[in-house]
Amino acid sequence: MAAAAASTPQGVAERRGIPAAAFVEDVEAYLRQAGLDVNSALAFLQERLQQYKIVEMKLLAQQRDLQAKIPDIEKCLDIVAALQAKKALGEALIADFELSEGIYSRAKIEDTDSVCLWLGANVMLEYSCDEANALLKKNLGNAKASLEVLVADLQFLRDQQTITQVTIARVFNWDVHQRRSKQAVKET
Amino acid sequence: MQQGDGTEAQVTWEDQQNINRFGRLNNRLHELQDEIKLAKEANENLDDAGNELILSDEDVVRFQIGEVFAHMPRDDVETRLEQMKEDAAKKLERLEEEKESILAQMAELKKILYGKFKDAINLEED
């Protein structure tokens, strides 16, 4: 019988700190090897499921942050492109912006070579338009790459949750089957 | 998995992988449904904007870039809007196609899994 420990023929043993759920080939062998009775096994598996859920919450929050960040960076790139286009035409850019809730003001941006980028942590730096473009593109690339990795993490995590749920159901069914067989034997 | 009578089929690693794949597809389907809703709204908004533009007769239009409204000549705005509408339509089409593909794959997996496990497994939306 195949061992109950996480084995390589069935994928990786863990991914970036998330342990893989061991696939159980045979319920009886699994229980015997782990030395657990049914209730302890079920409790252990339920706890594992809870832990997976907690990690899932954390990853989902990170995913939401990244998904909000990406359109922001794209908007910044649009503005820098608009400024550069106006500069090429030799015209000033006139824009209406929100001064306060419901109050707008007009700005005339003339012949600009540089923009200021908010870097976070109360820090704003002045960059030339070209430098700003490069930095923003790099940040956008990083954010998209991080999002891809995160999505893959979430898929892996959900797979482990599914495996654990199926294992719980199988252990439970096996137990029911055992009880019924014992009952049937008693009655003969 | 529902309660069985002990004669139900054993779950192999291949079965588990199929179940996992079904779960992944189902998740992606829900995400897609949300994305499609947003894409449809975006398309509608762009159409409305186009209509408003035709109705107005101003030469200078305030076009939103980021958080500010830049003054742009009407023709430029028309061009940009056309481009945005085209991109939005293509994106919606792409999303709908992905959704069709996923539904087909899910139907395939349902056939396989129900075939083996019959009513020991439930793959319906709750």
Over residues A47-68, the pLDDT tens digits come to 999 999 999 999 999 999 999 9
Query: Per residue in A162-180, is it b (16+ CB within 10 Å) or e — as a string?
Result: bbbbbbbbbbbbbbebeee
Residue A113: pLDDT over 70: yes
**Are B27 and A158 contacting, i.e. CB atoms less than 8 angstroms apart?**
yes
Q: Name the residue facing B6 among A95, A97, A180 (closest C-beta).
A: A180
The parts of chain B modelled with pLDDT lower than 70 are: 1-8, 126
A72-77 mean pLDDT? 94
pLDDT value at residue A3: 37
Q: What is the pLDDT of residues A15-42, one digit of tens each?
A: 888 889 989 888 888 898 888 899 999 9
Q: Show residues of chain B in contact with A94, CB under 8 Å.
A: 70-71
Q: Which residues contact B110 (CB under 8 A, 6 or more apart)?
A: B22, B123
Q: Does B115 lie at the interface with A, CB-CB under 8 angstroms?
A: no
B37: left (phi over 0), alpha (psi -120 to 50) or beta: alpha
Q: Would you call A94 and B13 a contact, using CB atoms and an 8 Å cutoff?
A: no
**Reported ipTM:** 0.83
CA distance B23 to chain A (A): 8
Residue contact A96–B5, C-beta within 8 A: no
Q: What's the pTM value of the predicted model, to 2 decimals?
A: 0.84
pLDDT confidence tier of residue A167, bands split at 50, 70 and 90: very high
Cα(B126)–Cα(B122) distance, integer angstroms: 9
User: What is the model's pLDDT at position A131?
Assistant: 94
- When pLDDT is averaged across residues A161-167 and rounded to a whole number, the result is 95
Per-residue model confidence (pLDDT) at position A89? 87
Question: pLDDT category, A7, cuts 50, 70, 90?
Answer: very low
Pair of tokens at residue B104:
């087909």
The residue of chain B with its CA nearest to that of A165 is B1
B67 touching A (Cβ < 8 Å): yes
Instruction: For residue B70, list chain A residues with Cβ-Cβ distance below 8 A.
Output: 82, 93-95
Question: Coil, strand, or helix at residue A6?
Answer: coil
Greatest mean pLDDT among A82-86, A182-186, B7-11, B27-31 lies in B27-31
Query: Average model confidence (pLDDT) for chain A?
Result: 89
**Closest chain A residue by Cα to residue B2:** A169
The pLDDT assigned to B8 comes to 65
Tokens of residue A28, six digits: 């009886």
End-to-end CA distance of chain A: 31
Q: What is the pLDDT of residue A2?
A: 39
In this prediction, residue A154 has a pLDDT band, given cuts at 50, 70 and 90, of very high
